[in-house]
Amino acid sequence: MTATGLYRFWYRFFAGLLRSETNKSSLIAPPVNKIINQPSSSLILVEEVPSDEPVLEFKTLKSVVENRAVPTVEKKSIPAVSTLDQTLEPNEAAIVKCNTSLYKRNTKEFDSVLKVLSYGATVTIIKEEGSWANISYKNITGWVDRDNITTRIYQTKPYFIIKEYCGPESENTKRLRLMINDVFFGGEAGLPLYPEEYIYYKLFSRGIILPASDKRPRRAGSWQKIFQGMKGAHISIRPKTGSILEYTTPEDEGRLAYIEAVFPDESISLSEVGVPESGYYNERMLSKEIWQELKPVFIQFS
């Protein structure tokens, strides 16, 4: 075989091999688009393989999710709920749930507010008309937003449990401070309930307000000195129901307690805050001999 013929032989041989490999690769299904990676930047790298060479395209994760089919959810309307919590009956006692204005008539007019009722004030219902309630408060009669009062006393007034801690976030402490308008600023200071606040509340519940005084602080142990001689305050060494027991411990700590009842043998039932520890509510029965050992005074307010 000549050199030319040998060259043609090998040329045809390798050309045939090349065509064979090309035909095999054409039998393989072309790759589909696929997600290669999801970098930290929330971009998804998508490889699209056309006929010639791959082209890489970046798409945001949001765009991929939004292109998916999302089932349609039927929106249902929520029925309106009345804010009127109960029916008000004539001559029934009710409690003011928030500071609210007492209007002369059942309409809001210029300069028609007779008084602003405080949280916890007790009123008597006369009648109701629509969203208004005709009520009487002490010797005043007028109209209030009927949804600002309730006959469910448990929703507004504190209910104390013996040996219960009355911290700044407890419901009883919050309700009490609302009722007395946080007059000692214990709520503003984030403090547990103080005995002075409790006594003020007990008097306030009876419609009694402490005589005004510029002396501060009005701490237990100093009430006798602060209120002695003031109008509406009477100091005694004998207990009466509704009076305030004040004494000083051997450790020179002032104490205040509310006299719930006085019995024929002169034993007393009292309620208090701060005994045995700060912020705790307690109730006790003291015989005459025991309370006399405390060397207390009893302050009657009217």
pLDDT per position as a tens digit, 285-302: 999 999 999 999 999 999
What value does the mean pLDDT take over residues 261-274? 97
Q: What percent of the chain has pLDDT over 70?
A: 72
Whether 124 and 162 share a structural domain: no
Of residues 154 and 70, more confidence is placed in 154
If one counts every other C-beta atom within 10 angstroms of the C-beta of residue 140, the result is 13
Tally the domains of the chain: 3
In the chain, what percentage of residues exceed pLDDT 90? 60
SS3 assignment, position 6? helix
Residue 86 lies inside a defined structural domain of this protein = no
For residue 144, is it within any domain? Answer: yes
Task: Please say whether the beta carbons of 236 and 296 come within 8 A.
Answer: no
Return the number of other C-beta atoms located less than 10 Å from residue 149's C-beta.
25
State which of 136, 154, 172 marks the end of a domain: 154
pLDDT confidence bin for 247, thresholds 50/70/90: very high
Task: Give the model's confidence band at 112: pLDDT under 50 very low, under 70 low, under 90 confident, else very high.
Answer: very high
Same domain, 230 and 126: no
192 & 296 share domain? yes
Task: Write down the pLDDT at residue 119.
Answer: 87
Per-residue pLDDT reduced to its tens digit, 216-242: 999 999 999 999 999 999 999 999 999
**143 and 255 fall within a common domain:** no
Mean pLDDT of the chain: 81
User: How confident is the model at residue 4, as a pLDDT?
Assistant: 58
169 & 227 share domain: yes
Strand ranges for the chain from DSSP E:
34-37, 43-48, 55-60, 93-96, 100-103, 113-117, 122-129, 132-137, 140-145, 149-150, 233-236, 244-248, 254-262, 268-273, 281-286, 297-301
Q: List, for residues 12-67, the tens digit of each pLDDT value.
A: 666 665 555 555 444 444 444 444 444 444 444 444 445 455 444 544 544 544 55
Look at residue 121 in the predicted model and tell me its pLDDT: 87
More confident residue, 122 or 164: 164
Q: Report the C-alpha gap between 19 and 239 in whole angstroms.
A: 120
Residue with tokens 């015989």: 287
Q: In this structure, are 192 and 276 located in the same domain?
A: yes
Is 101 part of a structural domain of the chain? yes
Q: List the beta bridge partners of residue 115.
A: 102
Q: Cα(286)–Cα(23) distance, rounded to whole angstroms?
A: 110
Domain contains 166: yes
Give the structural domain span for 264. 158-301
Mean per-residue pLDDT for 84-107?
85
Whether 79 has a pLDDT exceeding 50, the answer reads no
For residue 231, CA distances in Å to 52, 66, 228, 253, 298 come to 104, 77, 9, 27, 16
Is residue 14 situated within a structural domain? no
Do 258 and 140 lie in one domain? The reply is: no
Q: Answer whether 0.85 is exceeded by the pTM.
A: no
Q: How far is CA 166 from the centre of its chain?
A: 15
- Do 163 and 285 belong to one domain? yes
Look up the CATH number of the domain holding residue 136: 2.30.30.40
Is 77 part of a structural domain of the chain? Answer: no
Alpha helices in the chain (DSSP H): 3-26, 61-66, 171-179, 195-204, 223-227, 288-293
Query: Residue 16: inside a domain, yes or no?
Result: no
d(CA 100, CA 69): 53
* pLDDT score of 34: 45
pLDDT score, position 80: 37
Looking at 154, 182, 204, the residue that finishes a domain is 154
Same domain, 41 and 110: no
**Is residue 18 assigned to a domain?**
no
User: Residues near 93 by Cβ (< 8 Å), separated by ≥ 6?
Assistant: 122, 123, 124, 125, 151
